[in-house]
Structure 1
Amino acid sequence: MELIVLWDIDHTLIENAGVSKEIYAAAFSALSGRAPTGLARTEGRTDRLIMRDMFLGNGLPVPEWPSIEAALVRAGQERLSDLRLRGTALPGVHEALKAASVQSGWVSSVLTGNIAANARVKLSAFGLDPLLDLSVGAYGADAELRPELVAVARERVQRLRGVPADVPAVLVGDTPRDVEAALATGSGIVAVASGIHSPEELSATGAPEVLPDLSDTKRVLSILESFAGRGKRPRTSSDRP
């Protein structure tokens, strides 16, 4: 049975221990010449939105995106050692990713608000990158809103891996935005309360089931298999022609 599994990164697969906010602050400072007045607001938002709001919130014009992305890449590369030292892969993540990666007919990748370069930094810091098909993932440079990233990932999976357009997809994430993106695009959702959002918050957003984390590999795989077993998904308005 075919399935597309799209994992969030921060607070779903890894704990970044504040390094993410430091990356945004460093990129902002490099472009503006001064420190931001407050921390970046993240919580499932894309890098495009995070950085735009940082500049507007500080009363500054928003630079062109290529300049912002280049600053984010530099800031991410410079903090790889800090991430390895202070951060960690979350419980059960290696096992869950390994189990998904060996399933016949499955494509296991990421759907993240991070730009692609920093997604690789974060995953490689804990040896997770070989367990994911990152070339077909969707990243924070690809769109402003998280639901739009689902169509990006689908198009890449279809084009690069030959997966039919109607194969089911399931998102795995820790924020209400992950749940909303799944529901808005006809995708499945595995919500995990491993970030700042409680099981009650995630359930209230529409998640049918919430796991405390990914430590129960058999349970995670069973839930993912249940989406594969539902067969072809209905097409939605978010699908690209």
Structure 2
Amino acid sequence: MELIVLWDIDHTLIENSGVSKEIYAAAFTTLAGTGPTGPARTEGRTDRLIMRDMFQREGLSEPDWATIEAALACAGQERLRELSRRGTALPGVRDVLKAASVRDAWVSSVLTGNIAANAHVKVSAFGLDPLLDLAVGAYGADALQRPSLVAVARERAQCLRGVQDDVPVVLVGDTPRDVEAALATGSRIIAVASGVHSREELAAAGASMVLPDLTDTAQVLGILESFAAR
């Protein structure tokens, strides 16, 4: 059975060990000429929202998006080596991505608030990029709000991989916003308590399936198979 599996990146597939916040701060500093007074607020927001929030908090006019995206991409590329040094792929991730990638009827990609360039930096830092079909992913430049990214990924899967429009979509993520995006779009959800949000918080957001992590490959694959069979 066919399936579209869309993985979040930060705190779901990788631990960035603070490098993400440094990327936002560096991009902001490049554009504003001074550093932000506080860290970026992320927690599942898109890069569009994260950067808009930073400029609003500082009382500054927001530059045009193309300029912001370029600054983010530059800051991300500059920190690829640092991310590789300080961060890590989370336990079980490599095995579960490999298992999903070899399912002929599945499309396994990402749905992330990161812009595409920085999403690639983050997964390539740990050699995960060959295990993901990044061309059909949905990224932080594609929409302002996370739920809108689901339609973007579905359309790319249809156009690039010939996936039918009734194929189930599963989101895998660690924040209530991942859960909300799934519920708002009729997608399935596997919530993973590998970030800052507890199993109780994710369940309260509406996730019926909450795992502590992605270490049990057979369990994760079994859940995905059950979604594909519906």
TM-score for both structures, normalised by structure 1: 0.95
CA deviations 1:148-199 (Å, max 9, x no partner) are 0000000000011110001000000000000000010000000000000000
> Residue 104 of structure 2 aligns to a residue in which SS?
coil
Counting aligned pairs with the same residue, the percent is 78
Give the structure 2 partner of residue 55 of structure 1.
55
- Distance in 2 between residues matched to 1:122 and 1:103, nearest whole Å: 24
Give the structure 1 partner of residue 221 of structure 2.
221
> Which consecutive residues of structure 1, in runs of 5 or more, have no partner in the other structure?
231-241
Give the structure 2 partner of residue 210 of structure 1.
210
- Distance in 2 between residues matched to 1:77 and 1:160, nearest whole Å: 27
CA deviations 1:75-118 (Å, max 9, x no partner) are 00000011001000000000000000011200000000000000
> Residue 103 of structure 1 aligns to a residue in which SS?
coil
TM-score for both structures, normalised by structure 2: 1.00
- Distance in 1 between residues matched to 2:160 and 2:93, nearest whole Å: 26
> Residue 107 of structure 1 aligns to a residue in which SS?
strand
CA deviations 1:102-151 (Å, max 9, x no partner) are 11200000000000000000000000000000000000000010000000
Q: CA deviation at 1:209?
A: 1.6
| Number of residue equivalences | 230
- Distance in 2 between residues matched to 1:209 and 1:154, nearest whole Å: 22
Give the structure 1 partner of residue 66 of structure 2.
66
Point out 4+ residue stretches in structure 1 off by more than 4 angstroms.
none
| AA matched with 1:123 | V
Alignment of 1:170 with 2:137, yes or no, is: no
- Distance in 2 between residues matched to 1:99 and 1:189, nearest whole Å: 18
Give the structure 1 partner of residue 83 of structure 2.
83
> Residue 6 of structure 2 aligns to a residue in which SS?
strand
> Residue 70 of structure 1 aligns to a residue in which SS?
helix
- Distance in 1 between residues matched to 2:176 and 2:154, nearest whole Å: 21
